[in-house]
Structures are given as C-alpha cells and as structure tokens.
Structure 1
Amino acid sequence: MGMTEEEKKYKGIIWTLSIIIPIAVAALFGINLKRMGFDVEPLGFLPPIYATINGLTAVLLVVAVAAIKRGNAKLHENLIKLCMVCSSLFLVMYVAYHMTSESTSYGGEGMIRTVYFFILITHIILSVIIIPFVLFTFVRGIAGAYERHKKLARITYPMWLYVAVTGVIVYLMISPYYTH
C-alpha cells in the first residue's frame, strides 16, 4: 500500500523540519546572549526541569505502547501527542539554557568519562535522526495507515525511548559539575 494523501501532504513539511530543527539548534547553541553583551540572567534552573521532562517522555512512551497493546488507540494517540509536546518543551528549554549559560564541562575521569561521552554522542546523533521517524510515524497513525505506522513505530519507539532515557542519564552524570 502506498502513501495516503495525508502522508503526501506532510512529507515535505516533515523533511523540512527534520533539516531545519537540527541546524537551528546547532546555530542557537553557539549563541550566548550574555557573551554578546545582553543583560540576561542565566537560566541555570532549567537542566533539572528538562531532564525531568525527558524522563516523563520515556515513561509516557512506555505507557503509550502498553495502551496500544491493550487496544486503547485513543489513549495511545493522546499519550504520543503529549510525548511530542514534552520533546518540544525539552528542546526549547535546552536551547534557552545554552543561550544564557556557559557550557558545563564533564569532570569525570577514566572509564566513566568514556561512558559519558559514548552516551552523550549517541544521544545527540539519535536526537537528530529521530525527528523524521517520529513525525512520519505520527502522520501514518493519524492518517489511518496503521500497518505502515506499526512497522515504522517498531524502529521509532526504541530510538525515541533511548534518546529520552539517555537525556536523563547525561543530566545525572554532568549535574555535579554545574556551577550556578
């Protein structure tokens, strides 16, 4: 079965967002308003909030999958929409934090440093890769292309869950090194 009309309608938007979002985040990540002379307060309170949002996203994803396995499609859909809102909120807070605060260097040494950077790098790479997967999976679901939705969701779900969980792990590993 080919793409539905709804999928075709959103295809260009999804690919555009999948390119623009990582580029915008990378560009904004390099902008520090304080260093540019703006009188802004560092938003150092945000990391535990956006880490909690990542954790909440992970829990909601697991509950959403459980809901669909029990046949509760409406709950599944609502939870996935909430996951998308949470991921969007995370992104806004993450960028806001980095635009107003100095980056924190990881201070761990030895093997734990290697583990930290492995988790961080895989988290970052998958957080970029996941964007079109989430959006296409979502559109397939709302378009009623359930078999194609289910097939793609089998790839999307573990990646999204990994990004959400490793976001929390990265925060927990670096939080002792924050200076505020």
Structure 2
Amino acid sequence: MQQTTSVEKKYNKWIVILSVVIPVAVAILFGIKIPGAQPLTFLPPIYAIINGITAILLIWAVVSIKKGKRNLHENLMKTCIALSLAFLVMYVAYHMTSDSTPFGGNGVVKYIYYFILITHIFLSIGVIPLVLISYVRALAQRFDRHKRISKITFPIWLYVAITGVVVYLMISPYYV
C-alpha cells in the first residue's frame, strides 16, 4: 500500500468538499431564476465550443505526455480545468436567466438524446473528484499514482466534453 503524501492529505478535504459543493450548488442555482434578467441565450453555443476545445486539448495533453513533454501537458491540463470552470459559470448563468429548452425530437432520437444527456450529467458530476485527485497527485509529484487515476479520469472527462457538444447540437434546433 502506498503512502499518501502531506500535499495529498492537505488537499483531500478540499477534494471532498468541492466534489459535493459544486454539484449541489449547480443544482440549486439551476432552479433559481433571476427576476427581470435578460436571457443569456448567446451562451449555449459558446459553452459547446468550450466543451469541444476541452476535448481537443485533453487529447493533445495525453499525446504530449506520451511524447515526454511534461510542461506542455501540465499547461494543457490547467487550461482544460480553466475551460471547465468557465463552462460551469456560463452554464449556471444561462440557466439562471433562461428556461430549460425541451427536446423536440421523437422516436429513437429522443431516447438517444436522453441517454446521452443523462450519462453526460452523471459523469460530469463523477469526473469532478477524479480531476481534482489527478491534479493533486501531479502537484504532489506522485506521478505513478497520477498516471493510474488519470487513466480513469481521461476517458470520462473526454466523454463529458464530447457529449456536451453532442447534447448542444441535438437540442440547438429547439432553442427559442
């Protein structure tokens, strides 16, 4: 069994707190509408683009680390985290100023949409602690442990980023 470093121990409490607080705060804020606020209807395509860029950068980051470019990998991953935070702020802002858009498709497409949407939502919640743990392990220079969890984190985060774009493309014809 491997020892947890003091850096990891220092951040473990924050990982747990953020992994709970972020989804709960989003759920609460999702249900709050700002009275009289101008709907921020321009945001969904922007945060879909952010998801697409995140997916590309995640792949680039993996390629870069496999080529031994640690600094590039680190910078790309920090950018992915920043983009994910920007997405989150925009997503919440949009939903606090606009009503949710119902999916207008039917038949098999409707079931595909809801499957993608539901898996996207649940995995976006689950990826939070994985990203934080991966980041802290790299910060602690525990690259053996970082690599192990990153093999789980990467495909989930990539799925969330890609399905964010897919969900937007599927729902965009129904925006008012």
Give the alignment's TM-score, normalised by structure 1.
Answer: 0.96
Match of 2:58 among 49, 52, 61: 61
Mapped partners of 2:138, 2:70: distance in 1: 10
Give the % identical residues. 59
Q: Which amino acid aligns with 1:170?
A: V
> Where does residue 128 of structure 2 map in the other structure?
131
Q: 2:77 & 2:3 partners in 1: Cα distance?
A: 24
Q: Provide, for residues 99-127 of structure 1, a one-character-per-residue CA deviation record: whole Å limited to 9, x for no partner.
A: 00011000001000000000000000000
Gaps of 5+ in 2: none
Where in structure 2 are the equivalents of 1:34-45 lying within 5 Å? 38-45=35-42
Off by >4 Å, runs of 4+ in structure 1: none
3-state SS of paired residue (1:107): coil
Q: Note the C-alpha offset of 1:158.
A: 0.2
Distance 2:139 2:73 in 1: 11
Q: 1:147 aligns with which of 141, 144, 147?
A: 144
Q: Provide, for residues 141-166 of structure 1, a one-character-per-residue CA deviation record: whole Å limited to 9, x for no partner.
A: 11100000000000000000000000
> Does the alignment pair 1:160 with 2:157?
yes
- The yes-or-no answer on 1:91 pairing with 2:92 is no
Q: Corresponding residue for 2:97?
A: 100
Q: What corresponds to 2:5 in structure 1?
A: 4
**What residue identity is the alignment partner of 1:30?**
G
**For residues 56 and 140 of structure 2, what CA distance do their matches in structure 1 show?**
25
Residue in 2 that maps onto 1:122: 119
In 2: Cα distance, 1:2 partner to 1:67 partner: 28
1:52 aligned to 2:49? yes
State the alpha-carbon separation in 2 of the partners of residues 77 and 176 from structure 1: 37
Aligned twin of 1:81: 78
Number of residue pairs matched?
175
Q: Which amino acid aligns with 2:108?
A: M
RMSD: 0.5
TM-score for the superposition, normalised by structure 2: 0.98
CA distance in 2, matches of 1:17, 1:117: 27
Q: CA deviation at 1:39?
A: 2.3
Kindly state the Cα deviation for residue 4 of structure 1 after the two structures are TM-superposed. 1.1
Give the corresponding residue for 2:107. Answer: 110
Gaps of 5+ in 1: none
